[in-house]
Amino acid sequence: MATESVKYVAPETDTKTSSKVFPRPGQNTTGIVNWLTTIDHKKIGLMYGLASLSFLLIGGLEALLIRTQLWSHNMEVLSNRQYNQMFTMHGTTMVFLVIMPMSAAFFNYLMPLQIGARDVAFPRMNTLSLWCFIAGGIILNLSWFFTGGAPAIGWFGYAPLTDNRFAEVLMDMGPDFWIFSLQVLGIASLLASFNFITTIINMRAPGMTMMRMPLFTWMTLFVSFLLILALPAIAIALAELMFDRSYGTNFFDFLEGGKPHLWQHLFWIFGHPEVYILILPAMGIVSEIIPVFSRKPLFGYGLIVFSGAIIGFMGFAVWSHHMFTTGMGIVATSAFSILTMLIAIPTGVKIFNWIGTMWGGRIRFDPPMLFALGFITMFMIGGFTGIMHSSVPIDAQHQDTYFVVAHFHYVLIGGALFGLFAGFYFWLPKITGKMMNKSLGKFVFTLMFIGFNLTFFPMHYLGMIGQPRRTHTYNLGHGFETWNQIATIGSFILGIGVFIGFLQFVHSFCSKKLKPAGKNPWDARTLEWTLSSPVKEHNFARTPIIKARDQAWENNYGPPENHSEKVPLDDHGVHMPDRSWTPLLSGIGLLTMVLGLLFHLSLDQSGEVVRDYTVAIVGGVIFILGVILWAVEGGGGYHLFPKEEDE
C-alpha cells in the first residue's frame, strides 16, 4: 500500500458520532487484528481461498484412506463404519468446504475488480459470510471427537440412515454435527450471494453494461441466484430433520407416517442446482482464460451468457434424475429424463464456443491454459456419462455402482477442480504480484491429469462389471482387484500433484525471489488487469468509464474511441469503510449458539432426557449483541486520496 500518497481525513458527517459507540480499528491497523476485522473483499477472498485449500488437503487425505482400503479384497485398513464416515466426510468436505468456498474466493477477489467497483455492496456482511463458513467447517470437523464420531450417513443423508433408532452408536451425534454445519454453511452462502447479486446489479462502473461484463462476473451472478433459490430447500429439509432427531417430529419417520422419499426430493431440489453451483464458476474461469491464451476474443459471448442462464434455470427442473430407481412412475421419470437430455444442449453450446475461440488462435500452453484444456476434455467425458444416465434403463443399471463415482468425479475434479486450479495459476500473479514457475505448474498439471485419469477411468469399467459404491470392501473372484489397484496408485499420484500445487501457491505468497508480474503478465483482456499487482487497497484510484467489452485489451490494442476514461478527480477522495469487530462477534455468537444446541441434550442417572439451553442462549445473546452493535456503529469510514496513477 502506497501510504505516502495517502492522507487521513475523518468523515465530516454524522457517522463520526455513531462510530464512537464501539471502538473500531483504524486505517493503519496491521497484523492479526487487521485480518480479523477486515472488510476488504480482497482479504476476505484470500482467507476463503486459504481455508478452502486447507480443507482440500483434509478431504484429499480422506479420499486417500478410502482408496487405501480398496487396494485389495477384504482389506481392514478401515472398519465398515469408519469407511462410511470417511466417504461421508470426504463428500461433504469437498462439496461444501472446498469447491463452493474456493469459487467464493474467486468471486470475492475478482468480481468487484471486474466491474470496476470499490468493494462489494455490503462489506461487513461479506465478512460475516466468511466467519460463518469458517464456523461451519469447524463444526463439521469437530464431529470426529464426540459421541459416535463423524457422520456415517453419506453426504446426501438419506432417511432413515439419519434416524436415531437405527444409529449404530447410542446418542450418535455425527448427523447432528452434519445438520448444523450445513445450516451454518448455508447462511454463509446466502449472505455472500445476496451481496454479490446486489453488487453486480447495482455497483457496475459507468459504461459497464450487463452485456459488457466479463463472463466470470456473469457466472458469479447466476451462481448467486442459484444459491439463494436452491439453499432454502435443504435448509428446510435440515430443519425438519433436526426436529425429527431432537424433538420427535415425524417428517421422515416411516414408522410414524412420515415419508423418507420426501427427504430425497427436498435434498435433490437443492442438490441438483448445487451441481451447477459447483461447475458454473469453473466455466466462468475457463471462459476468461481461453480467449487470453488463444489471443482471440471469446467466440459467441452472448451465447455463452444465455447458455449459462438456461443451465441455471433448467437446473431446477431435473432433480429427480437422481431418483429414477425410487419408483416415481412413468410420467415423472419420462419428464425428468427428457429435461436431463435437454440440459446437455446449452452445456454443449458452451463447449463449442470455447473450441471456436481456440480455432485459428495463437495458443500458448501455459499452466492456466493447460488446466483449462484439461477442464474441457475431462468435463466432456463427465458430461457424456451424464447424458447416459438421463436414460432411465441405463441409469437403473448404473445406480449405486462405481460408474456413477467415475461420472461425478470427472465432472467435479476434471471439471470444477481443474477449472479452479486454472484460476489459481491465472490470477495468483495478480493477487501476489509475482509470477509462478511455469515448468513446475506444467509438472503439477501432468501429475494431476495422469493421476486423475488413472484413478477414475477404471471406475467406469468397475461400475459396469458391478462393483457397488459405498461398500467398504469386496470379495476375491469378481475381477475387481487389478483396476482398484490402478485406481489407488492413480489417486496417490493425483494427491501428490494437488499437494505440490498447494505448496506452489503458498510459496508464491511467501517467496521474495519470484520475478514480479507487472500489471498484465498474460496480456489479458478484462478490467482487473489494468490494476497493479497486487491490487491496492482502494482498487481504482478513479472509477473507470467503460467503453468496450474487453477493456484491458482495448486499452492496449483497440481504437482510441474504445479506450477507457476516468471519472474526474474531486475533493472527495475514495471512501473506504472502517474495519469492524461486529461480524466476528456475530460469527462467534452463532458458533456458540450452534454448539449449545448440539450439546443441549443429555441423559441423567435414570436415563431421562435432560435439555439445557444455557450455552445456546448465551450464544444467541452474543449474536444479537453483535448485530445491534453492527447497526449502531453505522458505516463509518475514511477517505483516501491516491495519486491519479496509483492503482
Partner 1 sequence: MSDAATHALDHHEPPTSTGIPNKKVLMWAFLGSDCMFFGTLISTHLIYRKISATVNGTPLDIRNIFDIELTSFSTFILLASSLFMALAVSAIHKGNLTGTRWMLFGTVVFGTIFLACQVYEFTHFVYLEGHELTLSTYQGEAHVFGSTFYVLTGTHGTHVAIGVFWLIGWLLYSFTGRMTTADAIDIECCGLYWHFVDIVWIIIFPVVYLMEYAF
Contacts to partner 1 by CB under 8 A: 13-15, 121-122, 190, 193-195, 197-198, 201-204, 208, 228-233, 235-237, 239-240, 243, 247-251, 255-259, 262, 266, 269, 575, 631, 635
Neighbour-count burial of 327, counting CB atoms closer than 10 A to its CB (0-12 exposed, 13-18 middle, 19+ buried): exposed
User: Which residue, 169, 9, 182, 25, is CA-closest to 84?
Assistant: 169
Which residues on adjacent β-strands are paired with residue 611?
Answer: 601
The residue among 168 and 256 lying less far from partner 1, judged by its C-beta, is: 256
Ramachandran quadrant class, 302 (left: phi over 0; alpha: psi -120 to 50; beta: rest) = alpha
Between 15 and 34, CB nearer to partner 1: 15
> Closest Cα to residue 281, out of 189, 343, 206?
189
Choose between 507 and 575: whose C-beta lies nearer to partner 1.
Answer: 575
Residue 590 and residue 186 in contact, taking contact as beta carbons nearer than 8 Å: no
Q: Cβ 346 to partner 1, closest distance in Å?
A: 23
The three-state secondary structure class of 441 is helix
- Closer residue to partner 1 in complex, CB, 18/391: 18
Write out 369-401 in H/E/C secondary structure. Answer: HHHHHHHHHHHHHHHHHHHHHHCHHHHHHHCCE
The least CB distance from residue 244 to partner 1, in Å, is: 8
Instruction: Compare residues 98 and 622 and give the one whose CB is closer to partner 1.
Output: 622
Tell me how far, at minimum, the Cβ of 192 lies from partner 1, in Å: 12
Which triple of cell numbers denotes residue 403? Answer: 460408474
Smallest separation, CB 197 to partner 1 (Å): 5
Q: What SS3 class is residue 244?
A: helix
Residue placing its CB nearer to partner 1 in the complex, 62 or 119: 119
C-beta closer to partner 1: residue 486 or 625: 625
> From the CB of 233, what's the least distance to partner 1, in Å?
5
Q: Assign residue 474 a region: left if phi > 0, alpha if psi is -120 to 50, beta otherwise?
A: beta
If one counts every other C-beta atom within 10 angstroms of the C-beta of residue 641, the result is 17
Q: Look at residues 500, 544, 421 and name the one whose alpha carbon lies nearest to residue 105.
A: 421
Distant-in-sequence, close-in-space partners of 558: CB < 8 Å, separation ≥ 6: 548
Question: For 196, what's the count of Cα atoms within 13 Å in the CB-facing half-sphere?
Answer: 32
For residues 501 and 504, what is the distance between their CA atoms, to the nearest angstrom? 5
- Compare residues 194 and 502 and give the one whose CB is closer to partner 1: 194
Closest distance to partner 1 from the beta carbon of 441 (Å):
37
Task: Enter the C-alpha cell of residue 299.
Answer: 467466440
Q: What is the nearest approach in angstroms of partner 1 to the Cβ of residue 231?
A: 7
Q: Which residue has the cell 482464460?
A: 289
Q: Provide, rounded to whole angstroms, the least separation between the CB of residue 257 and partner 1.
A: 4
Place of cell 463472463: 215
For partner 1, the closer of residues 201 and 355 by Cβ is 201
User: What letter does residue 78 receive in the DSSP assignment?
Assistant: S
Give the C-alpha separation, 558 to 555, whole Å.
6
Whether the Cβ atoms of residue 328 and residue 320 lie closer than 8 Å to each other: yes
Residue 407, number of CB atoms within 10 A of its CB: 23
As measured in angstroms, the least distance from the Cβ of 545 to partner 1 is 13
- Least separation, in Å, of the C-beta of 330 and partner 1? 20
Shortest Å distance, C-beta 576 to partner 1: 13
Identity of the residue, 316 or 457, whose beta carbon is nearer to partner 1 in the bound complex: 316
d(CA 31, CA 34): 5
Give the residue with the Cβ less far from partner 1, 26 or 248. Answer: 248
